[in-house]
Amino acid sequence: MHRKKILASLLALALLTAGAAFGQAADFTKYVAFGDSLTAGFSSGSINRNFQVNSYPALIYRQATGKTTGFEQPLVSAPGLPGILTLQRLAPTPQIVPSAGSGQPTNLNLPRPYDNLAVPGADVHDVLAKLQSTSASDPTDLVLRRLGFTQLQQGLSLRPTFVTLWIGNNDALGAATSGIVNDQTLTPLASFEADYRAIANAIAASGAKMAIANIPNVTSIPFVTTLTRFIPNPATGQPAIINGQPVPLIGPGGQPVQAGDFVLLTASAALAQGFGIPLALGGNGQPLPDSVVLSAAEAATIRDRVNGYNAVIRAVATEKNAAFVDANAVLSDVATRGINIGGITFTGGFLSGGVFSYDGVHPTAFGYAYIANLFIAAINAKFGNDIEPVNLYPFVFGTATGASSLAASSSIGAESLVPFVYSDGARRNLLLTLNVPKWIVDGTQPPTTPRPRRPRGGNH
């Protein structure tokens, strides 16, 4: 009799444990994604249906529900908005330019908010406060449609059961891509934390479970790391050797570009015109502008700030019992060691790595599928779900929609892909979409009026 009671008690405990575990599972009945261009499926300088259909939230939804419909996004027909960057030619010098024309929104009349509300160019504060576009290049109206409500408000109005939040990249990215590090391009940590906590608190109050990702080290992306600080040999793309030594480029202020400094991808057009190269070596003798060089000190400032942002994100994920994706660590591994999938090594190399698209900032279709699997693994581990990972085969071998836009086969040697020209049009399109201040993009003087302080409090 005593043994029967023990067995009955153990059975009851097992049933209670199973029930508790079931109750903790992430429910994708209504899934909403908040974020920026990384969540929107932005790639090669464009928001484009060919990539949006395989945005990481769309992939998570399909894997979690088995459905191919029901998760709505602000789709844009090819060639996207703005026109997608393309590799116009490979030899003798690769050239990247925006495609002609622009796409059109295909479901602007959806009678409810989208499920993927990520806005390319959005920073943390924008999720709370931004209602509409501020310029012709700003895609906010494409997503929020001037309905009078913010990204956060629209998403929570759908009564989500599950939310993914990947935001904060643009709080640091503008500093890295513009070469200008100040309060206009790098969000103060206190402001970031206040806004991030407000977003997470609102999501938690709705009752939705969450998966949260931190942000990558934006000084390790190909946009920042691809170009050498030395004068290139036009024939090989490798540093030119004079008297047995490579010769540094002429940086801002006429000083040589130093070890630890970065020459940005957008410098390629200036280099092609002879900037940064002495007259004796075939250049025009003029220094590279500050907007295409990131000094070692500036890079260190950005990295420190990103570390601060990520400390906030990890703390909030713990406090809110959210699944946590360490995107920073994974993308650092991609940059330093690469990842092997199906016998192919994918790296952070520009044009040749397969992870980053032609803008040097955003992932390829393969990159987004890999990110989706990071989220799925974190969700399964945290909430006890059993979501199958995305099959990467079609993304590796180019049979998935959009997968043909892998930056370039890793079988192409990087040495055959430089030097290249990242055109002025490509540079302008990308930087404006990333919300880099227009005066920096155009190389004009900064506005004389001080930047308005961000509002605090109120009904966001």
Q: In this structure, what CATH number is given to the domain that contains residue 325?
A: 3.40.50.1110
The whole-angstrom separation of Cα 15 and Cα 4 is 16
% pLDDT > 90, the chain: 67
pLDDT tier at 414, thresholds 50, 70, 90: very low
Is the pLDDT at 290 greater than 90? The verdict is: yes
What confidence tens digit (pLDDT) does each residue in 26-70 have? Answer: 999 999 999 999 999 999 999 999 999 999 999 999 999 999 999
The residue ranking higher by pLDDT, 356 or 13, is 356
Q: Which residue shows structure tokens 């009904």?
A: 459
The residue ranking higher by pLDDT, 7 or 285, is 285
Is the pLDDT at 240 greater than 60? The verdict is: yes
Is the pLDDT at 101 greater than 60? The verdict is: yes
Domain presence at residue 21: no
Token duo for residue 259: 């070890």
Average pLDDT for 404-411:
39
pLDDT of residue 100: 87
Domain presence at residue 444: no
Which one-letter amino acid corresponds to residue 109? N
In this predicted structure, which of 61-65, 214-218, 316-320, 422-426 has the lowest mean pLDDT? 422-426
Domain presence at residue 60: yes
pLDDT of residue 260: 95
Is the pLDDT at 450 greater than 80? The verdict is: no
What pTM, to 2 d.p., does this model score?
0.87
Query: Domain range for residue 39?
Result: 27-91+104-219+296-406
Domain presence at residue 356: yes
Number of domains in the chain: 1
Contact between 41 and 365 under an 8 Å Cβ cutoff? The reply is no
How much is the mean pLDDT over the chain? 86
Is the pLDDT at 107 greater than 70? The verdict is: yes
Is the pLDDT at 10 greater than 80? The verdict is: no
Domain presence at residue 141: yes
pLDDT of residue 435: 67
Is the pLDDT at 160 greater than 50? The verdict is: yes
The whole-angstrom separation of Cα 327 and Cα 282 is 43
What confidence tens digit (pLDDT) does each residue in 71-97 have? Answer: 999 999 999 999 899 988 776 667 888
pLDDT tier at 268, thresholds 50, 70, 90: confident
